Amino acid sequence: MTQDKKQKKRVVVSYKNLSPELQEEIKKQYPNGYTDRMLRIDKGPGDFFYAIMLETEDISYLVKVDVKVDEQVEEEEEKDYYNDEIKDSDEQLIEDAADDEDE
């Protein structure tokens, strides 16, 4: 049994450690960006990284990319939207409407 195709070498590398030529190749392969093409790679309990694939003629790269996680969403969800300031505003609107009816 012989292999017709030569197996590509597989390499894991960080985007910032790529040569400028390979960074340009990523721009060619992902002209509209790679956000939708990222893979989450789990390394162990609670440890992971995001990566994209880059294929060249001889090498298949798994390129680690930095991802900034937006923690503001969690803060917004925890925000109390029914605080006293808003209640006071509603009460003021009701009082203003009652005053307008009295006139």
What is the pTM (predicted TM-score) of this model? 0.58
Q: What is the pLDDT of residue 68?
A: 77
Q: State how far the alpha carbon of 68 is from the alpha carbons of 16, 30, 65, 72, in Å.
A: 15, 19, 10, 11
Phi/psi for 41 (5° steps) reads -105, 115
Confidence bin at 67 (pLDDT 50/70/90): confident
Residue 83 contacts residue 72 (beta carbons within 8 Å):
no
DSSP string, 53-77: EEE-SSEEEEEEE------HHHHHH
Determine the 3-state secondary structure of 97 from DSSP. helix
Q: Which residue has the higher pLDDT, 4 or 78?
A: 78
Q: What is the pLDDT of residue 7?
A: 87
Which helix (H) or strand (E) is 90 found in, with range?
Answer: helix 84-102
